[in-house]
Amino acid sequence: MLKSVAVLDEQPAIGLGIRDVVLAETALNFLGSFNTLNEFLHSFPEEKSDKNSSIAVVLAGKLADDSQLLDNLDKLCARGFTVLPYLQSEEVSLIPAVSKRRCCNQTIFKSEPLDRLITALCYAHGEETGESSRREDEVPISPHPKALLLSPNELRVLELYGFRGMPAKTVARQLGLTTNTVNTYVQRIRRAYAAQGRPASSRLELYHRFKEDFPDLLRKP
């Protein structure tokens, strides 16, 4: 079970904000805010231990030393830490790779309310459910009851643009379409979701809509 939280982020203010809420709203200890992975590992140098497994590391995509998120994630996983990637919305394309790391309970975006991060920590801690973990990137069992009916091209655009985070130009090149056509498909999909009352104005929201509506595609190897 988790007992403590540490934050790795290039911006000290982020760590301070998380610290205040963690101490006020959870039973977890706050170990500190660190600008780089090396700084954090200097305080927790053991390769792998029970102590490491009791620590949740909130890991930003960008640290002060410009190190790579996936490299940092692998190093933390290898040492037995639980990791909650804490990403910018434009880093959504990293999620498929991040979700393959078993040490990640959930992926949280900085654009989401801080309560979302605290809820993730509480789930991992077992405060709300009594469970030791809950994976954000688990594939839904069945499609959303209002799943969109899309043409083959629209579906591929939603997958590549919304779920995998590719730029419109890259999607167009891969599908043999013009960039204008890809943008038209994206606008059409967003309007369709809006008509259902399901948010899809951002790429992050499109990512979640794809997961909800097309779980069978996520199960493909």
Tokens, residue 204: 């992050």
| One fold for 4-125 and 152-218 | no
pTM of the model: 0.62
Per-residue pLDDT at 128:
41
Percent share of the chain, pLDDT over 90: 43
Output 218 or 97, whichever has higher pLDDT: 97
Q: Would you kindly state where each structural domain of the chain is located, as residue ranges? A: 4-125, 152-218
Q: Identify the three-state secondary structure at position 132.
A: coil
Alpha-carbon dihedral angle through residues 64, 68, 72, 77, given to the nearest 10 degrees: 150
4-125 classified as CATH 3.40.50.2300 = yes
- 141-188 pLDDT, tens per residue? 678 899 999 999 999 999 888 887 777 888 899 899 999 999 999 999
User: CA quadruple 154, 87, 81, 37: dihedral positive or negative?
Assistant: positive
Whether residue 6 is predicted with pLDDT greater than 90 in this model: the reply is yes
Q: Average pLDDT, stretch 105-130?
A: 68
Give the model's pLDDT for residue 61.
92
| Helices assigned H by DSSP within the chain | 12-25, 37-43, 50-53, 69-78, 95-98, 114-125, 152-157, 168-175, 179-196, 203-213, 215-218
Architecture category of domain 152-218 in CATH: Orthogonal Bundle (1.10)
Q: Are 104 and 84 in contact (CB under 8 A)?
A: yes
